[in-house]
Each structure stands twice: as structure tokens, then as C-alpha cells.
Chains A and B, each alone.
Chain A
Amino acid sequence: MRLLRSRSLAFAWLAAGALAGGLLVGSAWYATSHNLTAGLLTNLAGQASAQEVAPPGPAAPAPTTSRRPTGEVTEITADPAAFTLRAEDGTLTTYRVLDTTVFMAGHDRPYRFELLKQGDQVVVRGGGAGKVDPAAAASASAQAGKGKGKQAQPTSAQDGELIARQVMVRPAGEKVKGKKGQAASAPANADDGGSDGTRQ
């Protein structure tokens, strides 16, 4: 009987502990879910603005060319596939979208050009001036090979057009979440030197 009572007591404690723990875990869940895109945009935008205001001088970090265009989508065209973004300073820039342009909306959240809409916040990578996509060119040349692989890319940008190679999107209407002053989880394209396909 004593054993039974102690078991019941143990279960009661377990229930109480589980309730408290569950609340703890639940809080952690809510605090961290769905803020990856926001964190990404915040991080990248932060990087860009930090580079803009960094004072010259021996103590200042060496300037880099990794600043990435960030802004709000104001216009989208389907043919040719392109979008225009407005930067914080009001500058309007149009980027061409190729078949190989990669869209994503978070580290585990795929995205597509077809879903892009006015008001979306985006960060553009690889916005170089127009030239034939080397991958597409390589793909095209490969067709002379064993008949394997992708067909040649049908499109390449006109000379002078800016090409978006990777576009990170925070869809319009989605709020930035996460704790103030604290970076969210590592973004998908952060150069984190993360572990690779080797065993640890």
C-alpha cells in the first residue's frame, strides 16, 4: 500500500513537473518558430547598413563587396521575368529572374517567383550585370555530351540587366518575430562555414 501511495505521489509530481516543463518548452517553441525569414532579412540588412556607415581608418574593417540589395518589391513582370525593388533610400532597381534563380523564404522554407507579390521584402544575391549565365552555358555545351542532364537554359539576361541569382523573401504581411536585439537562427545563406557532408 505504501508502495502504491508513493507511486501515486510520484505520478503527481511527474504531472506537475511535466506541466511546468511543458510550459517551458512551449514558450521556447513559440519564441523561436517562424522567425527565420525575419532574422535573415534583419541580419543581412544589418550587415549592409553596417558596411555603409563604417568609418574609414586603420581600425575599420576592410570594405567588402558583399553588400546585398534589400528592399520592397514594387513591380513584377512575367515576360521577361523580372521584379523591381525599392531600397530604403527610395532607389528603384529591376532584376531579371532566370530559370536558375533560387527563391526561398526561410532556411527550411522554399519559395517561387510565381508567389512573389508587391510588398514582399527581399534580399537579392548575385545581382551582377547581365551576361550569359555560365551554368546555362555549361549546361548547353554539355548537351553535346552523353545526352544526360538538363536542357540548355532558354533565357539569359540582356547586356546590362541585373540578374537575381538568389532571392530571400519575407512575404508581405508577415511580422518580424524574435527577441529584440538578438539575432534569430542562422539564415539559410549565412556564410557560417557550417558542417558539411562529412561525419563529425
Chain B
Amino acid sequence: MALDNERARVAHLLRRAGFGPSEQELNEYTQLGFDGAVSRLVNYETQPLVPDRVAPEEVGLQVWWLDKMVHTARPLQEKMTLFWHGHLTSALRKVKDPNLLQAQNELFRANALGNYGEILRAISRDGAMIRWLDLQTNRKGAPNENYARELMELFTLGVGNYTEDDVDEVARAFTGWSATPDGQFVFRRMQHDFDQKTILGQTGPFDGDDVSDMLAASPTTARYMARKLFRYFAYPDPEPEVVGRLADVYLASSGSIKSVVEAILRSPEFSSDRAYRALIKSPTELIVGALRTLGADAVPPQAVQAMRLLGQELFNPPNVAGWFGNRSWINAATLLGRFNVLGAVAQQLGGPVMGGQPVTALLDGSTTSAARVQRVLDLLVDGEASQEERDALVAYADQAKGPQQLRGLFRLTMALPAYQLN
């Protein structure tokens, strides 16, 4: 079936530009039509900002952020916050201060679809990033190249598009960029190298902001970011002409991430068969999506440990390159883990975590096994299943009489291959 009707296209859109919709959300966005749905997503400031329902001081950053993702009325803003967290990474295990990671998270949220040059300027001043990539030890006469190298290799140009001399010179431009113990940016004038630098063929007394602007304006960065964003939202290995087209959007808009993301979502490639179910759900997408779809009222604290078991501990990406994503999410261990985690979510149906509504309410009055199966398939996988899968589910539903067995129907449906895909 793929994306042959408006509702399926909108559901696809909400999985990629968000974490999957609740039924009510899908109805609302479908009424807008696909184009209207894209407009609402990218212009998220028109939607209400849901106040924090839990405090990070009480539940920790991970549950706090997961709760935001589950309850947000601005799913693309949170999805982009997650993108930036995996792109401009920092991790608690080195930063060792959750206050700084929270501030960085808020920075990403505030600039979710911002201008990339401004984002680079801001992240170069971010307390967590300064500590994560050792900027505070970068001094005139003894530069630390860690931030300079990653800025070009992972944040902008990509490997092979700069020289070791460029790394040296960019490091010099960022000398003296440091932070106070509580993470406030401070420019240490005495440690800054004010001399001339030659970076990517240009010479001048550049500082960090100059470098951020220079790198953000580079056509190489435009292609790098266009490709990375397309892979995040649509499918791996985009065609060169698609990347080129999106890079043009980036350059024409002076680095507007909003323009690039909107172009991706409205592109024919995004709604193509190649894109449909082409990505494997990350643990965040898997768990948040299940909680959203099934109407969760809260994020169970166990979700934090589940995320770690599945390979995505928020605020602790594995290294500076972030999570590899897609196929790396599933192996023999994590596949079973995913089934178990989703089973644990299904087990909560009817309980306070899931809003307390009876399992039967989710079935919307359907009484026959076939109708119940269709209802659960509609909720979870756009109504799609092979005949074999459908028959097996109906056979199970024939014997599922009580709430516990009905929870099993949700659990089995979420174990379908289609549910693992975004």
C-alpha cells in the first residue's frame, strides 16, 4: 500500500517529523492535508508550548526530555532537538554536570530550525561543548585541536574537505574561548591568538565567530548538512542530485535549517516508496512513539534503563560522532530488547501510566477478532500487515478474552517487523 492515500502520507510525515501520532493527532493533521500538515510542523511556534509536566531536578534529564517528546504539541521541534543532540554531541560522562547538558538541550530546542551559522556560534559558546571538546584548554601557544577538528570533520565540512593546517589555524582562532565553572562562556583575552590565520585559503585575524560564519557559508557544509538532514528524515544514501538541490536551498537561505527541512518534507523523494518504512526506529522513536500512540500519561522511569539497553542513552551519546543510527539499532540482543520493552509498555495499558483508560477503550467498540486486529493494526502500523501476520493475530485474538490477553494483542502487533520501521 505504502503512501497511496493522504492519511498514510500524513502518518508517515508524523513518524519522521515527530515520534508518531496519537489517533487524535493523526485525525487533526490529516484534516489539514499533507501540505497543511507540513506547514503546521515547520511553523511550530503557532502551536502551544506545553509546560513541563515533570521537573528535571526531580526525575532527571532523561525522563524530563522523554516526557517533553511524549506530550509536545511541536513534534518537529523535539525531533530536531534530538537531531542536534546527535550531531553537535556532548555527553554527561565527560561533562559531568547535568545543568550544562540541560542548558545545551534548551539551546538546541530554541534553535531547532534556526540558522546554522548562528547555531555554530552558539554551540561554540556552550558550556557543555566547551568542556566536552576541551576548548577551555585551548590557549595561545598551546592550542588544543579537539574542537577545531570536530567542528570541520563532524559539524560542517566532513572528512577530506580540509587540511591539517586548517585544523591548526581554526584551533588558533578559538584560543581563549572558555567557560566559568558553571559553564558560562568567557573570552580569555590573554589566551587568545590575535595574529593572522589562513583558513580554507582565506587569511585574516579570524576568531571563533569568523570561523563559524565561514564554515556555515561553505558550499561543502551545505552539501554535508543537506545530506545528513535528508538521511535523518527520508532515507539513507540520497541521490547526488537530491543533495545538490537541498544544498542550493541551504545556500539560498543563508543556512536556514527550516528551509532545508521544509524542502525535504515537501520533496517527492520524502513521499516515495523508497522512503516508506526505510528507516529503523531509534530507541527514542520506538519508546516515545509507543507512548504517544497508546495515550500515555507519563513516562515510566524504567524507560531510561530501557533506552540504555537498546543503545541510546540520552545525554550520553557513544562518542563525538553521535549514534550511528538506522541499521545499527537492531542486532540479536537489541531486537529481543525492543520486543520486551514494547511488551512492558503494552503491559501498562489500562494502568495509570497509560492514562487509566481500559484496554477495551482502545479497541473502539470492535468486538470480533478480525475487527479488533484491524483496529490495532490501524493504530500501530497504518493498518498494514501481510495475510499471514493478520491470520496469526486473528488466531491469537480468538482466544484473547480478558484485558491481559488484549494487551498481548498490542504487544504482538508491536513485535511486527513493520512496527520496528519508521
Contact = CB atoms under 8 A, between A and B. Distances in A.
A107 B62 CA distance: 11
A165 B180 CA distance: 11
Contacts of A110: 56-57, 61, 97-99, 102
A81 B131 CA distance: 26
Given A15-B412, A102-B99, A135 B180 contact: yes
- Between A24, A28, A189, the greatest number of chain B beta carbons within 10 A of the residue's beta carbon is seen for A28
B61 A108 contact: yes
Nearest 6 pairs between A and B by C-beta? A29-B302, A145-B189, A22-B343, A21-B340, A150-B184, A8-B395
B309 interface: yes
Interface string B380-399: 00000000110111011000
A25 B301 CA distance: 13
Contact of A15 (B94, B99, B411): B411
Interface string A64-108: 000000000000000000000000000000000001111111111
Interface of B: 56-62, 89-94, 96-99, 101-102, 132-134, 146, 150, 178, 180-182, 184-190, 192, 207, 300-306, 309, 315, 318-321, 336-337, 339-341, 343-344, 347, 388-389, 391-393, 395-396, 408, 411-412, 415
Given A8-B396, A110-B61, A195-B319, A21 B96 contact: no
Given A29-B305, A197-B133, A192 B98 contact: no
User: For the side of the interface on A, what is the size category?
Assistant: 35 or more
Given A7-B395, A15-B396, A108-B98, 19 more contacts: A10-B392, A14-B339, A21-B340, A33-B304, A33-B305, A102-B99, A109-B57, A138-B188, A141-B189, A142-B187, A145-B188, A146-B189, A149-B185, A150-B180, A188-B96, A189-B96, A197-B94, A197-B146, A197-B320
Contacts, number: 192
Contact of A101 (B134, B182, B186, B305): B182
Contact of A102 (B94, B97, B186, B343): B97
B302 A30 contact: yes
30 contacts: A7-B395, A8-B392, A11-B393, A15-B408, A18-B340, A22-B340, A22-B344, A25-B302, A25-B309, A25-B341, A29-B306, A32-B305, A33-B301, A100-B182, A104-B97, A104-B99, A109-B61, A110-B98, A138-B178, A138-B186, A142-B189, A146-B187, A148-B187, A186-B93, A188-B92, A194-B93, A194-B94, A196-B132, A197-B134, A197-B319
A33 B302 contact: yes
A149 B186 contact: yes
A179 to B, nearest CB: 14
A103 B187 CA distance: 24
B335 to A, nearest CB: 11
- Between A7, A109, A135, A138, the greatest number of chain B beta carbons within 10 A of the residue's beta carbon is seen for A109
A192 B92 CA distance: 12
A140 to B, nearest CB: 10
Contacts of B89: 197
A25 B146 CA distance: 38
B132 A197 contact: yes
B98 A100 contact: no
A29 B94 contact: no
